[in-house]
Amino acid sequence: MTPDRFQDAKRIYNSALEREPAQREAYLAEACAGDESLKQEVESLLGCHTEAQEFFKAPAVEAGGKAQASESPIDFTGRTVSHYAIVEKIGEGGMGVVYKARDTHLDRFVALKVLPPEKVADPERKRRFVQEAKAASALNHPNIVTIHDIDTADGVTFIAMEFVKGRTLDRLIRGKGIVLNETLKHGVQIADALAAAHAAGIIHRDIKPANIIVTDTGLVKVLDFGLAKLTDPAESIEAGTRRSTGQKTEEGVILGTVAYMSPEQAEGKNVDARSDIFSFGSVLYEMTTGRRAFSGETNASTLAAVLREDPKPVSQVALDTPPELERVINRCLRKDPGRRFQHMADLKVPLEELKEELDSGTRTADAPPATRRRRRTAWAAGAFLLAAALGLGAWFGLLRRPPAGPAARVGTFTGFPGTETQPAFSPDGKQLAFVWNGPKQDNDDIYVQLVDEATPRRLTSDPALDFNPVWSPDALRIAFLRDTPAGTEVMVVPAAGGTERRLLVSPVRPFSMTDKQFCGLAWSPDGKFLAIVDKESEQASPSIFLLDVETRAKRRLTTPASEFWDGASAFSPDGRSLAFQRGRASLPPSDIYVLPLSASGQPLGEPQQITHDNSWIHARADATARRAPRDRARRRRT
Question: In angstroms, what CA-CA distances link 10 with 18, 19, 282, 296, 374?
Answer: 13, 15, 21, 11, 36
- Region 245-267: mean pLDDT is 65
Question: In angstroms, what CA-CA distances link 81 with 71, 78, 114, 513?
Answer: 22, 10, 10, 38
Beta strands 96-103 and 108-115, pairing class:
antiparallel
**Residue 251: pLDDT over 80:** no
User: What is the C-alpha separation between 310 and 118, in angstroms, rounded?
Assistant: 41
CA atoms within 13 A on the CB side of 328: 34
- Region 126-131: mean pLDDT is 70
User: What is the C-alpha separation between 585 and 588, in angstroms, rounded?
Assistant: 9
Check residue 83 and give its pLDDT: 95
* Residues sharing a CB contact under 8 Å with residue 78, sequence separation 6 or more, in sequence order: 86
The H or E element containing residue 315 is helix 314-317
Look at 100-104, 301-305, 395-399, 404-408 and tell me which has the smallest mean pLDDT. Answer: 395-399
**Residue 380: pLDDT over 60:** no
DSSP per-residue letters across 242-273 = ----S-PPPTT---S-GGG--HHHHTT----H
**Residue 86: pLDDT over 60:** yes
Q: Let me know: does 92 contact 76? Beta carbons within 8 Å.
A: no
Report which of residues 602 and 389 the model is more confident about: 602
Residue 212: how many CB atoms within 10 A of its CB? 25
Check residue 613 and give its pLDDT: 64
Q: Let me know: does 625 contact 396? Beta carbons within 8 Å.
A: yes
Domain 71-162: give its CATH code. 3.30.200.20
Report which of residues 340 and 374 the model is more confident about: 340
Q: Let me know: does 158 contact 112? Beta carbons within 8 Å.
A: yes
Kindly report the CATH class assigned to 380-637.
mainly beta
Split at pLDDT 50, 70, 90, the class of 557 is very high
| Residue 489: strand pairing partners | 482, 505
- Region 389-408: mean pLDDT is 45
Q: Let me know: does 301 contact 49? Beta carbons within 8 Å.
A: yes
pLDDT digit string (tens) for 97-116? Answer: 899 999 999 999 999 988 76
- Region 209-231: mean pLDDT is 79
Tell me whether domains 71-162 and 380-637 share a fold.
Answer: no
Check residue 44 and give its pLDDT: 67
User: What is the C-alpha separation between 429 and 142, in angstroms, rounded?
Assistant: 46
Q: Output phi, psi for 214, to 5 deg.
A: -120, 125
Any idea where the domains of the chain sit in the sequence? 3-57, 71-162, 175-360, 380-637
- Region 598-625: mean pLDDT is 66
User: What is the C-alpha separation between 540 and 563, in angstroms, rounded?
Assistant: 10
Check residue 229 and give its pLDDT: 46
Check residue 125 and give its pLDDT: 66
**Residue 464: pLDDT over 70:** yes
Round the average pLDDT of the chain to a whole number and report it.
76
Report which of residues 232 and 111 the model is more confident about: 111
Q: What is the pTM of this model?
A: 0.49
Look at 186-190, 423-427, 530-534, 585-589 and tell me which has the smallest mean pLDDT. Answer: 585-589
Look at 340-344, 570-574, 600-604, 622-626 and tell me which has the smallest mean pLDDT. Answer: 622-626
Question: In angstroms, what CA-CA distances link 484 with 90, 92, 376, 497, 567?
Answer: 45, 42, 17, 21, 20
Query: By C-alpha distance, which of 309, 241, 317 is closest to 284?
Result: 317
Check residue 154 and give its pLDDT: 81
Residue from 8, 103, 192, 206 carrying the catalytic annotation: 206
User: What is the C-alpha separation between 481 and 492, in angstroms, rounded?
Assistant: 9
- Region 470-482: mean pLDDT is 93
**Residue 270: pLDDT over 50:** yes
Q: What percent of the chain lies above the pLDDT cut of 90?
A: 34
Query: Cα(first)–Cα(last) distance of the chain, in Å?
Result: 47
- Region 69-85: mean pLDDT is 78
**Residue 51: pLDDT over 70:** no
Query: By C-alpha distance, which of 118, 234, 106 is closest to 162?
Result: 106
**Residue 302: pLDDT over 50:** yes
Look at 54-68, 556-570, 587-601 and tell me which has the smallest mean pLDDT. Answer: 54-68
* Residues sharing a CB contact under 8 Å with residue 603, sequence separation 6 or more, in sequence order: 557, 558, 595, 596, 597
pLDDT digit string (tens) for 280-300? Answer: 999 999 999 999 999 888 888
**Residue 544: pLDDT over 90:** yes
Residue 486: how many CB atoms within 10 A of its CB? 13
**Which CATH superfamily, name and number, covers 175-360?**
Transferase(Phosphotransferase) domain 1 (1.10.510.10)
Q: Let me know: does 304 contact 49? Beta carbons within 8 Å.
A: yes
Burial of 468 (0-12, 13-18, 19+ CB in 10 A): buried
* Long-range contacts at 146-149 (CB < 8 A, ≥ 24 apart): 148/103, 148/110
Query: By C-alpha distance, which of 256, 257, 253, 280 is closest to 267?
Result: 253
User: What is the C-alpha separation between 286 and 47, in angstroms, rounded?
Assistant: 28
Report which of residues 279 and 16 the model is more confident about: 279
| 548 annotated active-site | no
pLDDT digit string (tens) for 311-332? Answer: 999 999 998 899 999 999 999 9
Sheet holding 96-103, edge to edge: 80-81, 84-93, 96-103, 108-115, 156-162, 147-153
* Residues sharing a CB contact under 8 Å with residue 529, sequence separation 6 or more, in sequence order: 523, 546, 547, 548, 549, 601
